[in-house]
Structure 1
Amino acid sequence: MGMYHARPTVADLRARKTAGDKLTMLFVETEDEARAAAEAGIDMLSVVAPLWTPAMRAAAGDCFVQVGLLYGALCTGEDYLRAAHAAMQTGADCVYCAASLDIQKLLCDNAIPVVAHVGLIPSQCTWTGGFRAVGKTAAGARAVWDHVKRLEEIGCFGAELEVVPDRVARMIAENTPLLLLGMGAGAHADAQYLFAEDVLGHGVNKRPRHARTYRNFAAEFERLQRERVAAFGEFIADVKSGDYPGPEHAVSISDEEFESFLSELGR
């Protein structure tokens, strides 16, 4: 019989929302990032399905992990259901699904905790004007509200709430049981969600306005790459000059055995 894990459950996170706790969440892509997040005490992690492995689960420690089912890589409800079950069997705590309401409902009906997406939905943002804030008009804010209410009705556990006005986010967060994971949604979302690459300062994509960078890993990575090139160049030079390999890198054979070997060859 397996040991019970210490990481939070859906019920725990709902209780923390009710208590007014502010949660932290990171999108991570490597086991090192997951381990660092767990050690630091980050509450929730987001990992895309192709990177979700038993090793990543182990690295994530007691973090509650949302596994992202890739929109467009899956098509039918059965595709999503199989992928969701696979993620949960590998130790996911919930799944992210940006598919249609009927597919999200199918997952919910199978008791899989589902996080949906409202506001700026990157995979569907052509409908709302591209990568820009959503909900800055009364009609736009009402559309986000109505979307959240539909997600409540089908049984979703939470939703990423991306780039909506802070007052709109507060109104919604205080009037829904959904856990709202805020990205650029102000201080009143239930969790503050950033990408590790933005926090660490090595993202290749444009850093969003709402991100805060705490380290300059890009400069450190650039320095390490220069050091790699230099080390490899020194290795080449040592081989060409005969400095490598040296006697300490060679395997020896006794004179007696070597002479015996030569006599075997008739030399």
Structure 2
Amino acid sequence: MSTSRKRPTVADLREMKGKRQLTMLRVMTLEEAEAAERAGIDIVSIPPELILNPQYRDAAPTLFSMPGDNFFEIGTGDDFVRWAFRMFKAGADCVYCSASYATIKRMADEAIPVVGHVGLIPSRKTWTGGFKAVGKTADSAMEIMEAVKQLEAAGAFGAEIEVVPVEVAEAISKRTSLFMLSMGAGTGCDAQYLFAEDILGTNRGHMPRHSKVYRNFAAEYERLQQERVAAFQEYVADVESGVYPEEKHIVRMDPAELDKFMKQLDVA
């Protein structure tokens, strides 16, 4: 794919901090990645297997791409380092890590750009009361600020901040060098982050407050499924009635060769 747009580096993102809102998506497929590329999205979060697909960078040459997985799927700090090197070899620009500060430091010490997570962290939701906003009191907001400081000290370059009051997120973003990715935390951060499945209307589970649906792909998928069933039913009916195959679907043998063949069969 030809493009005049340049893929940003970590240094570029740091330079842009506080200057404009960037856009970020969680995409799961090559088709979604290509659509994000063509739409001008800045940053994508992707499953590790997507960056390992040899076709990924052809589909998304300028997307700043962040593979990530739950920390318990990867393992220890050393496991994370090996995993991260594999991601970078495949074309990643940074990695997401919700594991310990020590694990983040282990990667940062190897000059691996790491994005951490503060606020509502799905893999740790039991500690903050489940899927709900975090930081609504002064004390809990200060805990988020302390977590950001810990990420800074560990060497992370950015952090996802999820479902935190907008006032808290903005105040923290102004006081940290981390590049802050807002998921439901308002415009006081450096990028807005949504899931493609929410934007496209394919999510039929819980819809977060911060999500926004722009298309109804689920209805289109259902329509296509009904068309798929109808086409298969028509095929069954054609076979049963003898309508399929028609003359145009088959190959005929030259009559002379057919006669020769039949005589050989009789001899056999």
Q: Which amino acid aligns with 1:246?
A: E
**Aligned-partner Cα distance in 2 for 1:154–1:164:** 22
**What is the aligned partner in structure 2 of residue 213 from structure 1?**
213
**What is the aligned partner in structure 2 of residue 143 from structure 1?**
143
Q: CA deviation at 1:51?
A: 3.2
Q: CA deviation at 1:105?
A: 0.6
TM-score (norm: length of structure 2): 0.95
Q: Is 2:120 the counterpart of 1:104? A: no
- Conserved? CA contact 1:27–1:46, under 8 Å: yes
**Aligned-partner Cα distance in 2 for 1:69–1:90:** 16
**What is the aligned partner in structure 2 of residue 30 from structure 1?**
29
Q: CA deviation at 1:177?
A: 1.1
Q: Which amino acid aligns with 1:27?
A: R
- Conserved? CA contact 2:27–2:44, under 8 Å: yes
Q: Which amino acid aligns with 1:186?
A: G
Q: Which amino acid aligns with 1:142?
A: M
**Aligned-partner Cα distance in 1 for 2:86–2:205:** 30
User: Helix, strand or coil: the match of 1:117?
Assistant: strand
TM-score (norm: length of structure 1): 0.95
**What is the aligned partner in structure 2 of residue 49 from structure 1?**
48
Query: How many equivalent pairs are there?
Result: 262
Q: CA deviation at 1:60?
A: 1.9
**What is the aligned partner in structure 1 of residue 235 from structure 2?**
235
**Aligned-partner Cα distance in 2 for 1:30–1:39:** 14
Where do 1:4-153 residues align within 5 Å? Answer: 6-18=6-18, 20-52=19-51, 53-153=53-153
**Aligned-partner Cα distance in 1 for 2:70–2:257:** 63
RMSD of the TM alignment (CA)?
A: 1.2
**Aligned-partner Cα distance in 2 for 1:70–1:136:** 26
**Aligned-partner Cα distance in 2 for 1:74–1:260:** 68
User: Helix, strand or coil: the match of 1:35?
Assistant: helix
- Conserved? CA contact 1:69–1:80, under 8 Å: no
User: Helix, strand or coil: the match of 1:6?
Assistant: coil
Where do 1:181-192 residues align within 5 Å? Answer: 181-192=181-192
Compare 155-164 and 64-73 and name the one that shifted more. Answer: 64-73
**Aligned-partner Cα distance in 1 for 2:55–2:105:** 30
Q: CA deviation at 1:61?
A: 2.5
**Structure 1 residues not aligned, in runs of 5+:** none
Q: Is 2:179 the counterpart of 1:179? A: yes
**What is the aligned partner in structure 2 of residue 195 from structure 1?**
195
Q: Deviations over 1:101-141 (max 9, x none)?
A: 11111111111110110000000010011101000000100
- Conserved? CA contact 2:32–2:196, under 8 Å: yes
Q: CA deviation at 1:94?
A: 0.5
Which ranges of 4 or more aligned residues in structure 1 deviate by more than 3 Å?
none
- Conserved? CA contact 2:30–2:50, under 8 Å: no
- Conserved? CA contact 1:49–1:70, under 8 Å: no
**Structure 2 residues not aligned, in runs of 5+:** none
Percent of residue pairs identical: 53
